[in-house]
Chains A and B, each alone.
Chain A
């Protein structure tokens, strides 16, 4: 396959582990193809696990032991204090042994092992220190090192009621940086994931749901996000060439479908009543070809209020089997759209950051690690430009 999946920070690694549990150890998969679409011929997963403190990955030692190359696990100690600047710039005087250099080495090695390198998928959160800061830096370095490869990030936004006092600063700085270097940003929201988790608990329908209703709420939230990702990115028949071997280019086709403009790359996987630039619907379990004949596509078009300048606003892929369900007749529809409701979130982040900057709060912690007020201003300008772009249509 062509993707290297990189998970950075506490959230990124917890989410990533749920993703691998979903995708790599599903017993329902047929034995004749590769065990997992995201692994290489020797059975090792195409993954790089990066964290600045080891506790999250210890929990999963059993699971990752035989599945990931040792060189692909990059750990440090002490954490990054929930501070973007610390994650981005690292320790004072950190030279070649630094976390960033080791992480880039691991990514390069993993990319070289691919038969065909398409790009990376980066899993991280926006509001912490490692995931947001080191994640942003990694995006920039990967863009420099592999200029023709794609970068799709899976970014998790924090709870709006307050997960960390630094969440606005960190979200602002990482969104600005990632929007510049990445090709697409799949934005997920802790609040929406939690609401979904709460509605699901106690509703046993199908193996996935039963597992979710018994696990703790964090696991449920991560499984939900992972299944949205899987719904979009696992191989689909629409994109598999007639030889039957998937190139694994779903993430890059996704970006090509849903990001028509470089100034607006933030994607949602939920429906909303704002105007959409482009929509992708992935229908799994379509063995009787009913998707084309159903009203689903028409409803999507109406519900999304697509922009007038895009002649084919809704793209769709289909696959006869639903890998994520337990029975042959289960169906799954995942929708990814690039629509302007994201400007509400961006606006909130920019406003709150402005207020905190005006009060001068926490600025000394960022200055200590090399981020000045001018960097904040630059990030606010970038985000305001994105808001304007979304608002103009």
Chain B
């Protein structure tokens, strides 16, 4: 079995990461009733304690397993909170790297100042985590784009990963800022970070805060409003952390749980058995036809399971249709009106290959695929469903609909850059120059241009309307 290491950087990265480990423990406790260290656990956890067989297995008994993780933050608040919470015994100090003063929402401070100062320590901790793994296949990096540490130091860590472990796949989960973000310099931070992601990541799963808020609101509306017959099954909602170790629910937990579920579903086929196994290296190899265009739009279904237990086949087909519905996407985009380069469907639970093929045949006509990849579907079937559901589907679409998100970012960046607003904060940092900004903008423009080029081929797909003939 192959192993993965999770590297969580910055406040957002660590909060999401904390939810991920909690939900991962919950999922493995659910599947592995005996508490014996098995191959599925080995993909994310290391066995540190030999006395691990215990009856009446609960997540708290999973504390004998140590997560393969590195936690980095330049201010102590979040990491300290983790260390005081119920997951305190799970992490040990060699996995943590903290500083006191934070990055001040400044990409340059995170990337250059802290990046250089802590380079040796970061590489050391990464090496140690990698050495514990028999067969390391993938690094998962979790961070946000709008801040200073996650964005700056996070992308520095990404380039270190490429340097030190070039053969290991790098999958990055990036939380993009919404237009109404409260950090004024988030456009600078995001564009500077985006350049690093385009150059150094193997694939990126962009997530937008606004979409997460919309999903949370939709579920809450469903559970509070709605008809009596449509009560949601307890702890089945994608935002719920029930059954895990965490104590009282904290403010962003619901949103972070969604991202944590995304990571669990992506790795499900690599951890558990199924009829069509799909490993992590297959994600990049099958969904990324051109090295720079590696932004995959994630969408998760179902968001919740109704308490009413009838599950006719119609529900299964509904799950597939929902995956292509805008409400279930984790970024705001319109894939149905843009061009698909490739699409992966990762199904969990008791679903047959025939159901999968039937739904692909059904949905194909309405989804515009690029002309040279009309059969660009990658399918994976894992037999273990997530906690609280009987089956679930994760769709990862490499689609040109991310272009508007990038164009939006470019516009917000240009508005500030034109006026040279806040620029002095960045230029004061050692190693930072105007050229870094201009290179980042050039990279973003050429990325948008590549997507434009592909979109242009879509217009050629549309046949000309037949001309009217006048009867003579």
Is the Cβ of B357 less than 8 Å from the Cβ of A165?
no
Is the Cβ of B352 less than 8 Å from the Cβ of A217?
yes
From 261 to 314 in chain B, residues with beta carbon under 8 angstroms from any chain A beta carbon are: 273-277, 279, 281-282, 284-291
Which A-chain residue is minimally distant from B137 (CB atoms)? Answer: A78
A356 and B379 contact, Cβ closer than 8 Å, known pairs A78-B281, A162-B360: no
Is the Cβ of A221 less than 8 Å from the Cβ of B286?
no
Q: Tell whether A309 is near chain B: CB-to-CB under 8 Å.
A: no
Q: A355–B460 Cα gap in the complex (Å)?
A: 15
A54 and B1 contact, Cβ closer than 8 Å, known pairs A217-B354, A218-B275: yes
Q: Tell whether B80 is near chain A: CB-to-CB under 8 Å.
A: no
B69 to chain A, nearest CB (A): 21
Is the Cβ of B275 less than 8 Å from the Cβ of A355?
no
| Range of interface residues on B (Cβ < 8 Å) | 35 or more
| Of listed B281, B361, B370, residue having the most chain A CB within 10 A | B281
B400 to chain A, nearest CB (A): 14
Interface string of B83-99 (1 = CB under 8 A from A): 00000000000000000
Q: Tell whether B353 is near chain A: CB-to-CB under 8 Å.
A: yes
Q: Tell whether A194 is near chain B: CB-to-CB under 8 Å.
A: yes
Is the Cβ of A167 less than 8 Å from the Cβ of B375?
yes
Q: Which residues of A have CB within 8 Å of B274? A: 55
Q: A310–B134 Cα gap in the complex (Å)?
A: 58
Q: Tell whether B378 is near chain A: CB-to-CB under 8 Å.
A: yes
Q: Which residues of B have CB within 8 Å of A365? A: 285, 288
Which B-chain residue is minimally distant from A52 (CB atoms)? Answer: B279
Q: A358–B371 Cα gap in the complex (Å)?
A: 11
Is the Cβ of A361 less than 8 Å from the Cβ of B372?
yes
Q: Which residues of B have CB within 8 Å of A160? A: 375
A345 to chain B, nearest CB (A): 14
Q: Tell whether B364 is near chain A: CB-to-CB under 8 Å.
A: yes
Is the Cβ of A79 less than 8 Å from the Cβ of B376?
no
Which A-chain residue is minimally distant from B364 (CB atoms)? Answer: A161
From 1 to 17 in chain B, residues with beta carbon under 8 angstroms from any chain A beta carbon are: 1-2
Q: Which residues of A have CB within 8 Å of B379? A: 163-164
Is the Cβ of B277 less than 8 Å from the Cβ of A56?
yes
Is the Cβ of A92 less than 8 Å from the Cβ of B167?
yes
A82 and B364 contact, Cβ closer than 8 Å, known pairs A162-B377, A194-B357: no
B293 to chain A, nearest CB (A): 10
A218 and B277 contact, Cβ closer than 8 Å, known pairs A161-B377, A165-B287, A165-B289: no
Q: Tell whether B445 is near chain A: CB-to-CB under 8 Å.
A: no
For chain A, the count of residues having a C-beta within 8 Å of the partner chain is 44
Q: Which residues of A have CB within 8 Å of B352? A: 216-218
Which B-chain residue is minimally distant from A82 (CB atoms)? Answer: B282
Q: A53–B43 Cα gap in the complex (Å)?
A: 13
Q: A356–B291 Cα gap in the complex (Å)?
A: 15
Q: Tell whether A166 is near chain B: CB-to-CB under 8 Å.
A: yes
Is the Cβ of B281 less than 8 Å from the Cβ of A164?
no
Interface string of B337-375 (1 = CB under 8 A from A): 000001000000000111001001100100000111111
From 88 to 146 in chain A, residues with beta carbon under 8 angstroms from any chain B beta carbon are: 92, 129
Q: Which residues of B have CB within 8 Å of A364? A: 290-291
Is the Cβ of A356 less than 8 Å from the Cβ of B377?
no
Is the Cβ of B360 less than 8 Å from the Cβ of A161?
yes
Q: A236–B433 Cα gap in the complex (Å)?
A: 81
Is the Cβ of B375 less than 8 Å from the Cβ of A162?
yes
Is the Cβ of B277 less than 8 Å from the Cβ of A10?
yes
Which A-chain residue is minimally distant from B272 (CB atoms)? Answer: A55
Q: A241–B197 Cα gap in the complex (Å)?
A: 69
Q: Which residues of B have CB within 8 Å of A55? A: 1, 273-274, 277
Is the Cβ of A53 less than 8 Å from the Cβ of B277?
yes
Is the Cβ of B277 less than 8 Å from the Cβ of A361?
no
Q: A356–B375 Cα gap in the complex (Å)?
A: 11
Q: A356–B378 Cα gap in the complex (Å)?
A: 16
A180 to chain B, nearest CB (A): 26
Of B134, B290, B342, B372, the residue contacting A355 (CB under 8 A) is B372
Q: A362–B398 Cα gap in the complex (Å)?
A: 13
Which A-chain residue is minimally distant from B351 (CB atoms)? Answer: A216
Q: Which residues of B have CB within 8 Å of A358? A: 372
Is the Cβ of B375 less than 8 Å from the Cβ of A352?
yes
Which B-chain residue is minimally distant from A14 (CB atoms)? Answer: B275
Is the Cβ of A359 less than 8 Å from the Cβ of B354?
no
Q: A216–B342 Cα gap in the complex (Å)?
A: 27
Is the Cβ of B286 less than 8 Å from the Cβ of A79?
no
Which B-chain residue is minimally distant from A54 (CB atoms)? Answer: B1
Q: A82–B374 Cα gap in the complex (Å)?
A: 18
Q: Tell whether A244 is near chain B: CB-to-CB under 8 Å.
A: no
Q: Tell whether A77 is near chain B: CB-to-CB under 8 Å.
A: yes
Which B-chain residue is minimally distant from A201 (CB atoms)? Answer: B354
Q: Tell whether A67 is near chain B: CB-to-CB under 8 Å.
A: no
Q: Can you list 25 residue pairs at the A/B interface with Cβ under 8 Å?
A: A54-B1, A55-B1, A55-B273, A77-B135, A82-B282, A83-B285, A129-B282, A160-B375, A162-B364, A162-B376, A163-B378, A164-B286, A164-B378, A165-B286, A165-B287, A165-B377, A168-B375, A194-B357, A218-B352, A355-B371, A358-B372, A359-B370, A361-B373, A364-B291, A365-B285
Please list the residues of chain B having a beta carbon within 8 angstroms of any beta carbon in chain A. 1-2, 39, 134-135, 137, 167, 273-277, 279, 281-282, 284-291, 342, 352-354, 357, 360-361, 364, 370-379
Q: 8 closest Cβ contacts across the A-B interface?
A: A162-B375, A162-B377, A361-B289, A79-B279, A217-B354, A81-B281, A355-B372, A81-B285
- 20 extra A-B contacts, CB within 8 A, seeds A77-B2, A163-B378, A167-B375: A53-B277, A55-B1, A55-B274, A55-B277, A78-B279, A92-B167, A162-B377, A163-B375, A165-B287, A165-B373, A165-B376, A166-B285, A198-B354, A218-B275, A221-B353, A358-B372, A360-B290, A361-B290, A362-B285, A365-B288
